[in-house]
Structure 1
């Protein structure tokens, strides 16, 4: 009996480790993609200047205006809509926000991270990415007018306060053995929530989840370095 339990525990640990690696790789790619786009635009900066100079030399005012309009649109697309003070958090929040909006979810993010946290930036991104993924998943099945995600991050005393609230089609959820369980199914079932719990606990933070009819909220307090 002990050997069977031990084997199951090891299998679960391997599955969790594999999920964490996959999650980290996904978040890294999302952040790296945004930085790559920004570096490409900076690389092209000199070419843009040369083009504008050429248009100016030909007194082509209409051409200059048209070119500047195109550059302005490109910057709007590339620029992160989130400016929390933490570049990696901005990248993951912006990426997930765009994903949620593409699925017809009304998203509002108000994020300020003025301190360096006790946890690594990668762990912070794992938390934010997981919370956003769960919130997006919870909105599935709701009519567009009811889809909603609200994110708030700012200081509360000496700690960073994080709040994620999302609409959900699941109704009020009940705890099992003191824990809420994700409604997702498959090989990654429950690993996201477990990963968040482990990161917050290791950093000496605080986590609370609350389920009401039509809404689910996760609140965290994360200590500074």
Structure 2
């Protein structure tokens, strides 16, 4: 009864992971055969014990016998889904063939597959699965394969010990090998399948919990990135307001300079001019585009690029109003230009080229910059951060991808030996009609 309960718990846990993954936008359909394996294993255990003795059911009857024979094939189908290429289709096809042959035997009474031959075919399937996983590209699959090999070696070791100390001493552990050597391998490969199913289920649950925690952390870091971009934008706006205030006070400064000139106070006149020159250095009154949000961001990065001796060129033919949320636009541009400026500042002749324009209800954005060094990518070819504390970085690119997806686009990244280019086209939101 304990084994049945554990199998049911694993089946329900895997179905719960499947549902939660689907809600998070990552449906793990390959978990269906694995949960089916535990569910059918529990059903066959119940039917062949309690129900059989209480109701007089015959385990050799069609449906019960078929469930008992094929439940391990669902495990093989899951393992096939974890493999790639010809390995996947070969193992899956063999498992489906075994299901078909057992169905013909159980329901049509076609003597294509005797019980003994069926057991050896199931055992052969397990051996094939172990070998294929051993040469898999996934490290976890190789670990499961080695673990199954270790369990099999342990069973043979126990069986070998019983040859000298007697079978009755270690009987429960020696029985699977003894039965297999006697021509009935079902107990041996059923035990290995239970171990494999347990390892796969634990792996799935652990990886799912880990991915959910990572996803939560990523969302938090992306939110922090958005808040940081908004704070930088507000700082840039303050600089623009300071420029406007300086222009407003310009007449007063001219009057003060005239007064000092009339007094012929050369020392005070020079001091006053120095103060004005310092204030002018802190301002960036250049206009890049008619849109105030984009213009403020470009003004900020133009000043930073000048300090780092990076050439900053902009082409932005934009209207005053854009049908894109200001926080999304700020977050995208700040993350994009931050990365570009950091990379360009590390080259001898750093350069950033940024262009923005409206094309058929899309805001086309292109940012190109020089860079030096080696780019890092994961197994899927996605870029990784090159910073030492990688756990706290790399979220800017993730945030840009999320914004691009939000506006019906993708973030296109290309690069050669010394140039890095990021492009996207954000779909403009429909204009709100006046009510």
TM interval, shorter chain, is 0.7 to 0.9
Do structure 1's residue 17 and structure 2's residue 219 form an aligned pair? no
Shift of 1:99: 0.9
Q: 3-state DSSP class of the match of 2:323? A: coil
Report the counterpart of residue 156 of structure 1 in structure 2.
Answer: 359
User: Contact conserved, 1:172 with 1:212, CA < 8 A, in 2?
Assistant: no
How far residue 14 of structure 1 moved from its aligned partner, in angstroms, is: 2.4
The answer to whether the 8 Å contact 1:80/1:94 transfers is: yes
- CA shift, 1:105, in A, is 1.4
C-alpha distance in 1 between matches for 2:427 and 2:210? 39
Segments of structure 1 that go 5 or more residues without pairing to the other structure are: 61-65
Q: Deviations over 1:55-99 (max 9, x none)?
A: 99x7x9xxxxx999x989967863532321111211111111221
With the length of structure 2 as denominator, give the TM-score of the two structures.
0.43
Q: What is the aligned partner in structure 2 of residue 141 from structure 1? A: 346
SS class of match (1:136): helix
The answer to whether the 8 Å contact 2:376/2:385 transfers is no
Deviations 1:137-189 (CA, angstroms, capped at 9, x unpaired): 212432x23x2111112233332221111111025665752532333343541
2:295 is equivalent to residue 90 of structure 1:
yes
Task: Report the structure, 1 or 2, having the larger strand content.
Answer: 1
Consecutive unaligned residues of structure 2, counting only runs of 5 or more, are 1-204, 265-269, 430-435
Give the whole-Å Cα distance in 1 for the aligned partners of 2:407 and 2:308: 33
With over 3 angstroms needed to count, the CA separation of the structure-2 counterparts of 1:4 and 1:176, relative to structure 1, is closer
Matched residues in 2 for 1:176 and 1:26: separation? 34
Q: Which residue of 2 aligns with 1:183?
A: 386
Distance (Å, rounded) in 1 between the aligned partners of 2:359 and 2:376: 28
Between Structure 1 and Structure 2, how many residues are aligned?
217
SS of the equivalent of 1:127 reads helix
| Structure 2: distance between partners of 1:22 and 1:72 | 30
Q: How big is the shift at 1:201?
A: 1.3
Counterparts of residues 204-215 of structure 1 (less than 5 Å): 204-215=408-419
CA distance in 1, matches of 2:227, 2:253: 40
Q: Following TM superposition, by how much is the alpha carbon of 1:3 offset from its aligned partner in structure 2, in angstroms?
A: 4.1
| Distance in 2 of aligned mates of 1:77 and 1:11 | 37
| RMSD across aligned positions (CA) | 3.4
Describe the shift of the 1:192–1:87 C-alpha distance in structure 2 as closer, same or farther (beyond 3 A): same
Q: Does 1:27 align with 2:230?
A: no
In the TM superposition, what are the counterparts of 1:1-225 in structure 2 within 5 Å?
A: 1=205, 2-29=208-235, 31-45=236-250, 47-48=252-253, 50-51=255-256, 78-114=283-319, 116-142=321-347, 144-145=348-349, 147-171=350-374, 176-186=379-389, 187-225=391-429
Indicate the structure with greater helix content.
2
Which of 1 and 2 has greater Rg?
Answer: 2
TM-score (norm 1): 0.77
Encode CA deviations 1:15-52: one digit per residue, 9 max, x unaligned: 332333233223322x2331331242244245246548
Q: Is the 8 A contact 1:84 1:90 kept in 2?
A: yes
User: 2:388 & 2:323 partners in 1: Cα distance?
Assistant: 32
